[in-house]
Structure 1
Amino acid sequence: MYTARAAVVAEIEGELVAVVASAVQAVRDAIPVYRNLHGPQLADVEAIAYWSLRRLMTLWAGGDSTIDERDHSRFRAIGAARAADGRPLADVLRAYRVASSVFVRHVTTEYLDALEPPDIAELSLGVLDAIDAISEEIIGAYIVAREQLTSNRAQAHALLLDDLVAGRQNSPGALADRVRELDLELPTHPNVLVVEPMDAGRSLTDDTVESLVLALGLTPPDRTAQSTRRSHLCTRRDQRAILLLPNAIERTEVEAACNEMMLRGCLVVRSTIVGVGGAWRLASEALDTAPDHAFDDRAVLDSGDGQLLALLTARTTADTSEVVRTVLGSLTESANKHILEGLSAFIATGTATAAAAQLHVHPQTLRYRLRRAQELTGRDPRSAWHRLALDTAIQLRQLG
């Protein structure tokens, strides 16, 4: 029995929460891919660190460096999970080294007087042996899991989009490797489309999603494109589908396809790859909160609708400058100042005739400006929902 080690371990048990917190923070400081983890992902890292350090202490206190089959099995499961969420293998292994060094440093700093040199040596050797065994299990399971994932391309593509939506794929280098491995050519500024059935009582089936993808001129998930590399992704969230699309696909094409499939949705244009998660949340929350009359003249909302709804529902993500930018678009340019003035006067007075009188222009001139405003924004100021969006954006611009 190693009495001194057991006494130290008993002391550290009371400090383990703080030691784990220090270890996790050291990992996040040292490894960029871990910095953006939050919620369940961060809790998972903390739980693994807690369990790993407790096992290491138990083995050291008992003078036994043997990792049993349950430990091997758990580390194999961790390796497979990291392969599934796309976390780079090198970063995963480095995280264990960083966390272990924090533990060893804590022991040697706080309890050096209570231990003998052989105790410290055994701790250091035990850590090296454990990392070696852990690495072997994680590497093996990671490689097998990656091979299984990439052998089913449709599943692998969906998992990549799942990771982008959840914010799990944060390393540009790791993302580039994964995209290349899956033979993809994703746009740097994709459009993100979220759709659901127009009829809340109708289920969203795989056949419907496949028909939508085909209607957009793209290859469905379970088919291969012989001539070009795939530039789009698709996945599901319950009764909604999420599509990452090339920005060459026009909004009019999306609108026509959704109408044909009896779907409604929200399209966020020219997102960034790292911004896919934010685009998904904006679109999904827009579908959650949009009133029925927002769809009176169309099947697909846009970024401006999403930003307006975020503001109206007092979401923490609401950004007034984005409401102005996405709703008014090029109307804020100096060359279109007269068009914006005509639109503002129409919204304020309620009729083209009254607006024309206010601006001292002919009614036909005012009507021309309204047509141009509709062409530039895609919003008809005679529609209640579009009028609300335009009026809100105009007022926010004036306040800004």
Structure 2
Amino acid sequence: MLVARSVDAVREAIPAYRDLRGPQLDEVENIARASLHRLLELWIDDGDIERDRPAFRAIGTARAADGRPLTDILRAYRVAADVFVRHVVDHHLDELEPADVADLSLLVLRTLDAVSEAIIDAYTAYRDRLTSDRGQAQAAFLDDLLAGRQNSSGAIADRSRQLDLVLAGRPRLLIVAATDPADSVSDDDLDTILRALGASPHTDQSDPAPRAHLCTRRGTRGILLLSGPVDRAVLDTVCAASDLRGCLMPGRPIADVAATYRLACDGLDTAPGHAFADRELLDDGDCQLLVLLTARATADTDAVVSSVLGPLRDPSNSHLLDGVRAFISTGTATAAAAELHVHPQTLRYRLRRARELTGRDPRHAWHRLALDTAIQLRQLDGALRTR
């Protein structure tokens, strides 16, 4: 109960701790439990906190790697210590002598001082090492984002400032791989992409200006986190010239990069060759469809519909959606036009306009599958809603 109260008090007092979930929250609870237990031991046995310094130095290093603000870390220990002292006073004061309370107060002050010193030393040392190589530090930051080790907006902002980054709140994620599975994406490949987008190559660390992108490599793939507008046609051209293919995901909150990365990887891992027939990069709709087709637990039919059909869901574009549906069901523009009682040229215009809005041409097998699946899901959902 005391541990839970301490963690609740920390999360209430410190905004950066409110967003912690899963393993990170479990870690905070474990540290709180061990620290409070150790504090009680020191009070009972009149022990020495010095032997605990390595453990707290390890915590300082880990928190520096997480990007959690140093002031928040130290405050968390003060808040937890306050909860402990108040618990003792509220529940055990009748059992204690004034000297016992005085000893406890002095012990808490000495312990907080020693813990703070150990954490500050390790935190500062790690940060000094990290910022000595800006490129490596920035790649490590993206690795943490991809792994979900960085999901607090406050911690992300703090680490961005430390690494001299100006990242968008909703960056786009680009993953590229060599068309030959035996090859790997190189630094030159990533630099070529960045130059085409008007950004500084990630291997050039001489430019002192803040960066708006991050790069790293995982296995044979290259990963870029991009801010600002991204020209898909330019990327397609660059990737084709470099024998690369990949996936460009839309802008989502930076704290959701890990989930976006997993979705993109699922898509690339399962995409058939003909999904790249008319382009080099998959998109969100392709990945959502592939997750559905492979029966992943994360499959979301609403996401398939919205990401594949996009603007075609708007009532003002219902005639375009009807044209796509008729073309898919009949197989030709002439037959689709006859079904809708319009001129074949009108039907072709509607298909061309739908292609411009969605990036999908129903004459290509993969796009036809994506559009047909999304249309059917939308119709099924409408039928269920009217029952």
1:28: Cα distance to partner?
Answer: 2.9
- CA separation of 1:118/1:283 partners in 2, compared to 1, >3 Å: closer, same or farther? same
- SS at 2:114's partner residue? helix
- The corresponding residue for 2:252 is 271
- The corresponding residue for 2:284 is 303
Equivalent of 1:220 in 181, 188, 201: 201
Aligned pairs for 1:54-93 (under 5 A) are 54-64=37-47, 66-68=48-50, 70-93=51-74
CA distance in 1 between partners of 2:295 and 2:369 (Å): 16
8 Å contact from structure 1 (residues 185, 231) kept in 2: yes
Aligned pairs for 1:374-385 (under 5 A) are 374-385=355-366
- CA separation of 1:365/1:180 partners in 2, compared to 1, >3 Å: closer, same or farther? same
**Would you say 1:46 and 2:46 are equivalent positions?**
no
AA aligned to 2:21 is: H
CA distance in 2 between partners of 1:293 and 1:28 (Å): 49
- The corresponding residue for 2:385 is none
1:322: Cα distance to partner?
Answer: 2.7
CA distance in 1 between partners of 2:292 and 2:268 (Å): 14
CA distance in 2 between partners of 1:104 and 1:316 (Å): 46
Length, aligned pairs only? 381
8 Å contact from structure 2 (residues 7, 32) kept in 1: yes
- SS at 2:181's partner residue? coil
AA aligned to 2:44 is: A
**Would you say 1:20 and 2:6 are equivalent positions?**
no
Deviations 1:137-167 (A, max 9, x none): 2122222222221221102212222333344
1:235: Cα distance to partner?
Answer: 1.8
Equivalent of 2:166 in 178, 182, 185: 185
Identical positions, percent: 60
Bigger drift between 40-49 and 163-172 goes to 163-172
- CA separation of 1:135/1:179 partners in 2, compared to 1, >3 Å: closer, same or farther? same
- The corresponding residue for 1:14 is none
8 Å contact from structure 1 (residues 196, 264) kept in 2: yes
- The corresponding residue for 1:31 is 14
Aligned pairs for 1:1-400 (under 5 A) are 18-64=1-47, 66-68=48-50, 70-224=51-205, 226=207, 228-398=209-379, 399-400=381-382
- CA separation of 1:182/1:52 partners in 2, compared to 1, >3 Å: closer, same or farther? same
Bigger drift between 259-268 and 31-40 goes to 31-40
- SS at 1:37's partner residue? coil
CA distance in 1 between partners of 2:159 and 2:237 (Å): 33
8 Å contact from structure 2 (residues 151, 256) kept in 1: no
CA distance in 1 between partners of 2:8 and 2:245 (Å): 43
1:368: Cα distance to partner?
Answer: 2.2
Deviations 1:161-194 (A, max 9, x none): 2333344444545444433333322223321112
- CA separation of 1:313/1:105 partners in 2, compared to 1, >3 Å: closer, same or farther? farther
8 Å contact from structure 2 (residues 172, 225) kept in 1: yes
1:225: Cα distance to partner?
Answer: 6.0
Deviations 1:220-272 (A, max 9, x none): 22313648532111122333322111332211122222222322211112223
CA distance in 1 between partners of 2:7 and 2:291 (Å): 34
